[in-house]
Structures are given as C-alpha cells and as structure tokens.
Amino acid sequence: MRSLAVMLFGHFLVCISTFVLLVGASRQQVPLSQHEQHQATANRTVSPQLFADLEELSRIVDISYCVGDLGLGIQKPFSCASRCKDFENFELVKTWNTGPLLSDSCGYIALSHSPSTPRVIVAFRGTYSISNTIADLTTVPQEYVPYPGGDAPDAPKCANCTVHMGFYTSWRHTRAVILPDVLAALAAHRDYALVLVGHSLGGAVAALAGLELLAAGHAPTVTTFGEPRVGNAALAAYIDGRFGVGSAAADDDDDMPRYRRVTHADDPIPHLPPAELCYAPHGAEIFIAKKDLPPEIGDVVRCVGDADPACSSRRSWWTRFKLWQLFFAHRDYFWRLGLCIPDITPGVEWDGWSEIDLRL
C-alpha cells in the first residue's frame, strides 16, 4: 500500500500541474458555432476494423504500466498481473526502465505471432511517477532535428521546428536502450509490421520514435492515447506530412491510417502544453465522444485537420470538473488505464478492493 500511496501522490502532482496550465489553455475554448455543429454531424465514425484495433491497443499499452519501480513486472514468455492473458500469441522481447535520473521511461517490446497479426510491438508507458511529472513540465522548446538527419534521403529537414525538451530528452534516453532490440526483431521477422503505442507521456515519446524509425526506412504504425502536444505548429505539420495525415483528403482516404492520435471527451492532456507556450496539436485525431466506459463504435469518430472544433478542441472542461475527474478522463480510453491489476473497469471488485478504493 505504501508504493500505491507514492504512485497516487505522483498522480496528484500531475493533476495540480495540469490545472495550472489549463487556466491559460482555457482561453482558447469557445462554444460550438452553427458551422462547427454541422461539422460534428459530418464527422466519420471509425470502421469496425479500426475500432477493434484501437480497443486491442488500449489493452496492450495498459500492460506497460506493469513495468517500472512500482509495477509488478512482465515475465517471459508473456505473463503479468494485468491483461497479458488476453494475448496468448505474444512473446516478450524485453522490458526497459531508464530510471528516475533519465526521465523514468518505461515500456516493453513484444512479438505478436500468428494466428494473431504478426507484429513487432513497442509499448511506451505513460506518466507514473514524480520524475515523469518533472519531464512533463520541462516545457522549454528546443530545435528539432530529424534523425538520422540530413544524410538520410527519406528524412527531410523540419524547418523552424521546435520540440518539448522533456519529451525529447525522454526519447533520447529511451532510444539508446530499445533501438538495438527493435532493429534486431525487425531483421529477424521481416514480414512483421512495426507497431508503436503509447499513453500520455508515452504517446509523446512514441511520436518521436515513429519519426525516427520512419526516417531510418521502416514503416511504423503509431497509436497514441491522450498524447500531449509534442512541439510547435511547424513540427505538427511535419508529423502530418511524414505520416500522410491531417488534411481532410488524407483522413478520408485511409481507413487504417498510419498514425492515430486518440483523444477522449474532457481529457485535458491533449491540450497541453498550451498555445501560449507555442505548442500545437498535429492531425490524425480520433475522438472518443462518450464520457463513460465503455465506448461503442458510434462514439468514436475520425476528425478533420489538426484541431477539429467538433472533436476534443470544442470543450471547456476545466471550468466544469474537479481535478480528479480530469485525471480519470485522461485514463478512460476503452478501458481505465494506468494500474497493473487485472480488469480495471468502474464498479468492478478485485481481491476484495473496489476500483474506487484503489484509485482515490
């Protein structure tokens, strides 16, 4: 219980820092106009295939919370106290934890073997500790230089791009630990797709990892849940261009896009850091409009552009919710994410403890 208390205290610091930044970001929130209301009805629901893919990936990224100083771990071939039993055809390659002095990045690499879809999966854990909170708040922008840089023919320069220093630092520490294993897995399984998935801070790291692996000649599919803003408008446009997302035409044409930035009703994190600090969202947004779990396929819509006013950008959440409600909104993506215990859904009991007991 002591470790649980430490973890929840870290979550509380996240909520406090989020609230301070929301005061500035809330100035951008305006009521829906008639035009925006028309856009809301025109938004496209996702296909059954994409809905099923996102739901599965939410469980896959939830397992990453078993990794870290407070997690219970993942054991080979693929077992844990969370949802590992849902993936009988998975094989654990490795877990990583860079530690609190190196941005506390955590996650795992796994192989998904047939009859499941053959994939090399890299799952990036979200904010979980005080050191993650510090990384989240290191909002000072720095120049973004694509890796491997100008020498790579498939890596165009990102003119005037800046990136969140904390997120970029977290990725730099992570890449040294995981890149050799990811490349070795891809070399050994050449017919396997590369899938990156992250929640919260892990979503920002997954975005930067996706850009780097794309520049290195691979074809990653990136899915993020509650991803914060990674950099400025130039970087947002760069991500859109590299993954072929963001425009209405691109969003219309691809039923299974290469980038999926999943947001949730009332989640404040996709709006942080705010525009006042020169941060901007990129495209590929998929919006879960339903507040309560679980969402149905009709509750999940494809959005247009980088900041569709009919999607997550429409809400003025901070004026209507308490901090703990905003915190839950950041966790409720198909399932309630963030604790390495099985089947966490509101109202479900686990070993005599109710879900509300464990989280408050």
pLDDT score at 325: 58
Q: How far is CA 22 from the centre of its chain?
A: 19
Give the DSSP letter of residue 228. P
Reply yes or no on whether the pLDDT at 188 is more than 80. yes
The position carrying tokens 């992250």 is 198
What tens digit of pLDDT does each residue of 304-360 get? 888 888 898 765 544 444 555 566 778 899 998 987 876 555 444 443 333 333 332
Mapped onto helix, strand or coil, the DSSP state of residue 159 is coil
Whether 267 is a known active-site residue: answer yes
Reported residue count of the chain is 360
**Mean pLDDT in residue range 140-164:** 78
pLDDT score recorded for residue 208 = 96
Which segment of 142-156, 178-192, 256-270 scores lowest on mean pLDDT?
A: 142-156
* 130 exposure class (CB count in 10 Å sphere: 0-12, 13-18, 19+): middle
CA distance 214 to 44: 28
Average pLDDT value for residue range 150-162: 74
- CATH numbers and ranges of domains, the chain: 2-359 (3.40.50.1820)
Q: Is 308 a catalytic residue?
A: no
**pLDDT, position 85:** 94
Could you say which of 129, 200, 312, 313 is catalytic? 200
Confidence of residue 67 (pLDDT cuts 50, 70, 90): very high
Q: What single letter denotes the amino acid at residue 255?
A: D
Q: Which of 104, 240, 267, 306 is catalytic?
A: 267
